[in-house]
Structure formats: C-alpha cells, structure tokens
Amino acid sequence: MTELHQAAAAGDFDQVEEILGQNKCNPNQRDIDWSYKTPLHWAAAKGHTETVRILIDHGARPCLRTEHGWTPAHFAAESGRLAVLRLLHSLHAPIDKEDCCGDKPARIAEIYGHQDCVRFLKKAEIECQAYRKVAAQKGISLDDTDEDWAEQGKENEENRISKSNIQTLYSENHHSSLTMFEEPVCDRGQQHTDGAVVAAAYKEMKNHI
C-alpha cells in the first residue's frame, strides 16, 4: 500500500493533495496485497467524496477494477455512499459494470440494504447507457474499460477452458481403461463368464498401454 493509498483511505485531503501535487505516487497504482485496489477504490469505499474528486481530477481512473471486478462504484454501493455515487455519475464514471459474479453496483447496494443507493443507481444506469450511446455516435472515446482486467479475464477463461478439456480427456481415457477390466455382462440365463471374451478384453487393454 502506497502513501497515497493510506491517505485516500483515511480521507486526509491535504495529504492526498500534497502527494498528487508533487507527483510522488501514481493515482492508478494497484495494491497487490489488497486485491489490486487503487487509492480511488479506498476513497470511494470510505465515503471521502472530496478525496474521490481530487483523485479523479489528477488522473485516477474510475473504471479500474479489483481482482474480483469491483469498480469504485461497487465499493461505494457496498458502503451506502450515496454522495460518492452521485459524484461518480456526474463525472461519467462507469457505474453499471458487472463484477466477476455478474453483479452491478445496484445489486451490491440491494444486498446490503442501501435502498437510497439502489433507487439512484437504477436511474443512473439508464442515463449512463444513454450517455455511452450518444458518445459512441459522436465518436467520443470514454474511459470506461479496464484493459488490463479485461485481458486477465480473457486469460483466466482460456486457462479454465484448457483445464476443463484436459480433465474431460483424462476422464474419458480413464473410463476407457477401466471398462477393459470389467467383467462382461452375462446374457439372461447365462451362468458363467465367457473366458474368451475376458481374454479379448485383456488383450485389447494391453494394446492401449
């Protein structure tokens, strides 16, 4: 955790301003020990509205996500920080993004019982989508995507699919080998196992080893 992370979490506006003014810390620095939170995540979670504002004014990106896909809006929603959510929305920050579980900030606010935040976010989501559409039509580039997180998610999905395919292949081969040891099912009324069939199965198994 950097000095800026600590100041943002504590809501120490003067120190945050000093650090940013002297370019002592990157406002988008991720803290690997705290799920890749940025100073903005901390300020939003703690409800430090003015700290959120000055961080964004100095280049903090409200689209950046933690390892679980949470934006600053998710943290503000979890803590019921309506003022922070209003500020983020006024600055056209993405407040309608889904996390790794498919939950938007509105859903997080609902889970934690912050109904005032839920009502605001439901309306804000519509406005956010409309603004994004207009911006696209006008060719305005919006900073609402965390490229690193998206790329990591793509890699994780590819690894998951690869692992699943390997497990499926192993399961099929393992099942195939096991069936070679199984005693053939006797026809109805048959009292004894056909030795020739067992021998053939064993020979087939040997060929696969």
| The predicted structure's pLDDT at residue 180 | 46
CA distance 65 to 62: 8
Angle at 94 between CA 137 and CA 134, to 5 degrees: 15
Residue (of 26, 64, 24, 25) closest to 44 by Cα position: 64
Which DSSP string corresponds to 29-43? Answer: --BGGGTTB-HHHHH
**Tens digits of per-residue pLDDT, 123-154?**
999 999 999 889 888 888 787 788 877 676 66
Judge whether residue 204 has pLDDT over 60: no
Q: Is the pTM for the entire model greater than 0.85? A: no
